[in-house]
Amino acid sequence: MSNVQIADEVQRRRTFAIISHPDAGKTTLTEKLLLFSGAIHIAGSVKARKASRHATSDWMEIEKQRGISVASSVMQMLYRDCVINLLDTPGHKDFSEDTYRVLTAVDAALMVIDAANGVEPQTRRLIEVCRQRDTPILTFVNKMDREGKEPLELLDEIEQELGMPCVPMTWPVGQGKAFGGIVDLRKQQMRLFKAGADKRSDEGDEVVPLSQADTLRARFGHDYALAEQNIELLTAAAPAFDEAAFVAAKQTPVFFGSGVNNFGVQEVLDALVDLAPPPASRHVTRADGSEHEVPPQSAGFSGVVFKVQANMDPSHRDRIAFVRVNSGRYTSGMKLRVQRTAKELRPTSVVTFLSQRREAVEEAYAGDIIGFTTHGGVQLGDTITDSEAPASFGTYTGLPFFAPELFQTVELANPMKSKQLQQGLLQLGEEGAIQVFRPTVGGSMLLGAVGQLQFEVVQHRLKAEYSVDVRLTGSRFHGARWVTCDDDAAMRKFTDEAASKLALDAADTLAYLMTSPYDLRLTQDRHPKVVFHPLREHA
């Protein structure tokens, strides 16, 4: 296949994730997007899955979830001429580092906000990750059919939180019971609100051009007049939509609607196709430290493992490595190589997510996700290439480890099992299920996580897969920062003073464990030459 053909396929790809706080409407919106694009035909199928995921939290359920989430973690749909990959960001109790890492595998994010609640804590954490990587963000303000905050107030809040200007693409007329519809500012028309959970498209909706303002004023009275006023205000104050600025994460286009009513959803899907960027070049670091960029249309296949998932069945030690394709074309049966070890990767099975097509198409391009089932030899952050890539290809930069926010101390019930514990934690650490810290001045090992469920899963898996019983107890630490310093003397002074709060992670990188944000500020003030990093890039 020529580079031109590969380039055409790349141009058709859109890979994104939805970021939101629980209950803002992510599941509902996902379902409507799938429904609109024809990927599913029955409303309710995604919601049913969510219900089964959260029905109970016993251990069997966690096991089941691990199975279910393989199938549901990537949803591919065809819309217009585009292949859209929607990656699930686990939320609720299963919030974990995986949630963060998924965001390293996308080219854009769709932020869903509940009109009544504005920007909520979990969304804020996910925004931070997007901001660090300059991921373009589209914003959808959901639940306009309910009383909520004033749209102008919401825009203000979003601007503050995102640190970038909002550019409304649609504007609501009324809200709650008086929700009349949305004005499409580009098309200069208003689409009148019609409730309907089973709509497949907007075709039946009534659309009135803004040139018929009298009709709209007569129909929506004060609400329309207010919307007109606000639009006038915004036209003067807000910047115009600038695609380059959006792609550089310097402004966010904002849409209003009601997910549950399939209202305002088509605009979002169209924006993904029209505005969101296709996959771009990615950075690779060679063994000698030099860097180069790999364009997505280059002929050689390459990708990066952004998620590793153990098999549900603990008697099989196989894992699924989720690879985001970064360049070239993957074809089934292709010979693959893990760059870190220079060894061949021989998956026992390969999953692609082209469920919508009738024939089994076993190829993938930049932006697509492939799941390789293997018996080992692959870990989080690995770069996979076809076997023809030079050994000096290098590894994709940037799969980050995020500073844990929750810590627990591990104690063995049976001290004779310490070897099994080490092995178990090493493997679970390789999967990214948990982060392990060893205090530099002795003491019990610490486990670090960003979500509570990570501890429960690790404790359960240590028992089920490694026959190790551990007790997890609370810890005084509430955060970690990886530390570096160019000045040896300043570093020594710091390590002497902070010895009781220092630990090494699985890659032997030094970290400072903090008891509170205040503790960190104080330590930073005392040691201005030491740099405290909230992320560690894959070593």
Among 6, 10, 24, 485, which residue interacts with ligand G4P (rule: CB under 6 A)?
24
Shortest Å, Cβ 47 to ligand G4P? 6
Binding string, 146-185, against ligand G4P, x = CB under 6 A?
Answer: x---------------------------------------
Q: How far is CA 297 from CA 98, 259, 281, 399, in A?
A: 27, 35, 9, 21
**Any binding-site annotation on 397?**
no
**Whether the Cβ atoms of residue 217 and residue 225 lie closer than 8 Å to each other:** yes
Rounded distance, CA 121 to CA 132, Å? 17
Among 26, 101, 191, 481, which residue interacts with ligand G4P (rule: CB under 6 A)?
26
Three-state DSSP at 47 gives helix
**Any binding-site annotation on 144?**
yes
Residue 139 engages ligand G4P in binding (rule: CB under 6 A): no
437 forms bridges with which residues in the sheet? 446
- Binding-site size, ligand G4P (CB under 6 A): 18
Shortest Å, Cβ 50 to ligand G4P? 6
Among 7, 8, 47, 377, which residue interacts with ligand G4P (rule: CB under 6 A)?
47
Among 37, 135, 139, 142, which residue interacts with ligand G4P (rule: CB under 6 A)?
142
Q: What residue has token string 């019990």?
A: 444
Applying CB under 6 A, which part among 72-80, 142-150, 311-319, 349-357 lies near ligand G4P? Answer: 142-150
**Any binding-site annotation on 508?**
no
Decide: residue 100, CB within 10 A, 0-12 exposed, 13-18 middle, 19+ buried: buried
Reading the block at residue 424, the tokens are 């178990």
Q: Which residue, among 467, 476, 498, has the nearest Cα to 485 in the 3D structure? A: 498
Nearer to ligand G4P, 253 or 259 (CB): 259
Residue 143 engages ligand G4P in binding (rule: CB under 6 A): yes
Angle of helix 26-36 relative to helix 265-274, nearest 10 degrees? 70
Among 22, 295, 377, 439, which residue interacts with ligand G4P (rule: CB under 6 A)?
22
Nearer to ligand G4P, 46 or 399 (CB): 46
Three-state DSSP at 181 gives strand
Among 40, 249, 260, 338, which residue interacts with ligand G4P (rule: CB under 6 A)?
260
Sheet (strand 13-20) strand order: 74-79, 82-87, 13-20, 108-114, 137-142, 252-256, 166-168
Residue 20 engages ligand G4P in binding (rule: CB under 6 A): yes
Applying CB under 6 A, which part among 20-28, 75-83, 432-440, 441-449 lies near ligand G4P? Answer: 20-28
Rounded distance, CA 205 to CA 196, Å? 11
Residue 451 engages ligand G4P in binding (rule: CB under 6 A): no
Q: How far is CA 135 from CA 108, 128, 245, 392, 418, in A?
A: 6, 10, 11, 29, 42
Q: Which of residues 352-411 bind ligand G4P (CB under 6 A)?
A: none
Rounded distance, CA 33 to CA 151, Å? 23
Binding site for ligand G4P (CB under 6 A): 20, 22-28, 47, 50, 142-143, 145-146, 258-261
Binding site, annotated residues for GTP: 20-27, 88-92, 142-145
Binding site, annotated residues: 20-27, 88-92, 142-145
